[in-house]
């Protein structure tokens, strides 16, 4: 049942009671009148735009924050490895240049066409800490790296040799 809300009286006419009719194509609530003796006015407020129960003040605070600029230093390298059949392993080292702790959520290499074999030390990265990504393609073939963090939009890094 849809709750009833009292609308402000426009003149001294009596107010009628209306029962809400539930229809299958009804998507929004409309304010209804009720027959009460109280002169208290309760405005109809649609809070469907709020997500996860946050109130309007929190939503305004989030929208007023300036966009954060994050910086990383990215190096592609080939290291010797006695554990691989080829004798080497290709890695991507991502060094954080941010004062605040940052967590990497995704690394896309060559628009997703180069897979990653492993992703290590990527949480709570402070200034100077290095995350390691083991590559599924040759290091010399890496042309673009897109880094996604828990704070801002993806950061594209394009290599030119």
The structure's pTM equals: 0.55
Query: Domain 72-158's class?
Result: mainly beta
Chain segment 65-118, per-residue pLDDT in tens: 545 578 899 999 999 988 888 889 999 999 999 988 999 999 999 999 999 998
Asked if the model's pLDDT at residue 124 lies above 50, the reply is: yes
pLDDT of residue 42: 57
Chain segment 29-74, per-residue pLDDT in tens: 444 444 545 556 656 655 555 555 555 555 455 555 545 578 899 9
pLDDT of residue 114: 93
Sheet with 155-158: list strands edge to edge: 104-109, 144-149, 155-158
Domain boundaries, the chain: 1-56, 72-158
Asked if the model's pLDDT at residue 138 lies above 70, the reply is: yes
* Average pLDDT of span 120-134: 93
pLDDT of residue 61: 52
Ramachandran area for residue 64 (φ above 0: left; ψ -120 to 50: alpha; else beta): alpha
DSSP string covering the chain, please? -PPP-PPPPSSSPPPPP------TT--S--------S----------TT--TT--HHHHHHHHHSPPP---EEEEEEEEE-SSSSSSEEEEEEEEE--SS-B-EEEEEEGGGTB-EEEEES-SSB-TT-EEEEEESS-GGG--EEEEEESSSS-EEEE---
């Amino acid at each position: 049942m849809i709750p009833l809300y009292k609308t402000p009286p426009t003149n001294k006419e009596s107010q009628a009671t209306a029962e809400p009719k539930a229809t299958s194509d009804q998507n929004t609530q409309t304010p209804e009148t009720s027959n009460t003796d109280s002169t208290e006015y309760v405005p109809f407020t649609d809070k469907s735009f709020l997500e996860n129960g946050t109130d309007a003040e929190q939503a305004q605070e989030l929208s007023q924050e300036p966009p954060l600029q994050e910086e990383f230093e990215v190096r592609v390298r080939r290291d010797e490895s006695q554990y691989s059949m080829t004798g080497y392993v290709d890695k991507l080292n991502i060094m954080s240049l941010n004062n605040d702790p940052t967590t990497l959520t995704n690394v896309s290499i060559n628009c997703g066409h180069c897979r990653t074999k492993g992703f290590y030390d990527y949480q709570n990265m402070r200034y100077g800490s290095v995350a390691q990504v083991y590559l599924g393609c040759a290091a010399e073939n890496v042309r673009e790296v897109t880094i996604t963090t828990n704070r801002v939009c993806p950061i594209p890094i394009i290599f030119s040799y």
